[in-house]
Each structure stands twice: as structure tokens, then as C-alpha cells.
Amino acid sequence: DQQVKQNSPSLSVQEGRISILNCDYTNSMFDYFLWYKKYPAEGPTFLISISSIKDKNEDGRFTVFLNKSAKHLSLHIVPSQPGDSAVYFCAASIINDMRFGAGTRLTVKP
């Protein structure tokens, strides 16, 4: 059972524009949500997170939005840069039990 879903396997964006990556979850008990970024031949690296008591968290070019009623979160990257090209994983956790989505491959074209 996929408790965390990323329905878009890929996304292509022009450099300088906004990238929006989406994620849905099914378990209302999740209390912490994260985005990880993965380059080829490397492990995922933590990018940004949000607690379930918030609806927005911003870190530089990256903003995560959480809509608990819709069980939906999104990652906005503004402006997108070619170096942002990677696979982005959405994750949701209850304490240490973390579940990942299947990932979205973002390509930022120069």
C-alpha cells in the first residue's frame, strides 16, 4: 500500500521559472513531511521539511506547502536552476517511521 504518492514521474521546466512538485498521502497520522533530492549514483539528501502544525515553510528558493484537509503537499522552487535537475522524493513520517513517494524527476532546461 502506497501511503505517499507522487503521481507525476517527471517534470520539465525552463530555467528561471517556477517548479511545482506535488505529493499526496493517505495516513492522517503522519506528523512530519519532508522533501529529499537525489542525484544519480548518490543517496537522497534532505532538502526541506514541514511539521503538521504548519502550512508553509520557506528556505531560500524552496517552499513547502501543506494542506492537511486535502492530505496534499507541494514543493515550489523559484527560480528554478539547471542544478536543481534531480529526482525529488516526498516523504511523510510518524516519529522515525518514514514513507517515501516514488519520486519525480525534475529537469530544468537552460
Binding site for other proteins (CB under 8 A): 2, 6, 31-34, 36, 41-46, 49, 89, 91, 93, 95-103
Residue 38 or 71: the one with the smaller Cβ distance to other proteins is 38
Q: Smallest distance, Å, CB 34 to other proteins?
A: 5
Q: Smallest distance, Å, CB 93 to other proteins?
A: 4
Burial of 73 (0-12, 13-18, 19+ CB in 10 A): buried
Residue 15 or 49: the one with the smaller Cβ distance to other proteins is 49
Q: Smallest distance, Å, CB 39 to other proteins?
A: 10
Q: How far apart are CA 58 and CA 8, in angstroms?
A: 23
Residue 4 or 77: the one with the smaller Cβ distance to other proteins is 4
Among residues 43, 36, 40, which one has the least CA distance to residue 91?
36
User: In sequence order, what DSSP letters do the residues of 18-34 get, joined into one string?
Assistant: -EEEEEEE--TT--EEE
